[in-house]
Amino acid sequence: MSSHTGRCLCGNISYEFTGNPAIAGVCHCKNCQRQAGSAFSTLYGVPAAAMTIKGETTLYVDGDTDSGNQVERHFCGKCGSPIYSRIAAQPDMLFLKTGTLDNTDDFAPQFQVWCDSKQNWVTLPEGVPAIAKGS
């Protein structure tokens, strides 16, 4: 069974998960852009039971979302690296920020969401489903 590891910028938070992620995607919503400080957020959906986290994340509950649903955003309180998000609709899933992985070679998005708010210079790849709003 494959194992994946990662950490925040300062190393205060580290994690490992076993198995393959359930999903891989890209979110272009404005809140993910602001949270990442970048054009979008790359995500792996990982079953919470498969994840081991060392260190304590800081939680920000984001209630001002385009979907109207709250998003729990977990990050390192020391360096600010986003680690994962959670949503009430999928309480057993962590949406891991793939930029924190030690090895990102296997990341290939299966979908992109909130494409109606993507940065205008971002080109969406052909063959990857692009959803205007969230699902």
Amino acid at 73: R
Asked if residue 35 is part of any domain, the answer here is yes
Residue 10 has pLDDT above 90, yes or no: yes
pLDDT of 41 strictly over 60: yes
> What's the pLDDT score for residue 102?
97
Residue 8 counted as domain residue: yes
Report strand pairing: 3-7 vs 93-97.
Answer: unpaired
Residue 35's domain spans which residues?
3-117
d(CA 32, CA 13): 20
pTM of the model as a whole: 0.88
Question: Looking at the predicted structure, is the pLDDT value of residue 64 above 70?
Answer: no
Residue 122, domain member (yes or no): no
- Split at pLDDT 50, 70, 90, the class of 29 is confident
Rounded Cα distance between 101 and 23, Å, is 15
Please indicate, yes or no, if residue 129 is contained in any of the structural domains. Answer: no
Q: How many structural domains are present in the chain?
A: 1
Q: What confidence tier does 71 reach under pLDDT thresholds 50, 70, 90?
A: confident
CATH number of the domain where residue 65 is located: 3.90.1590.10
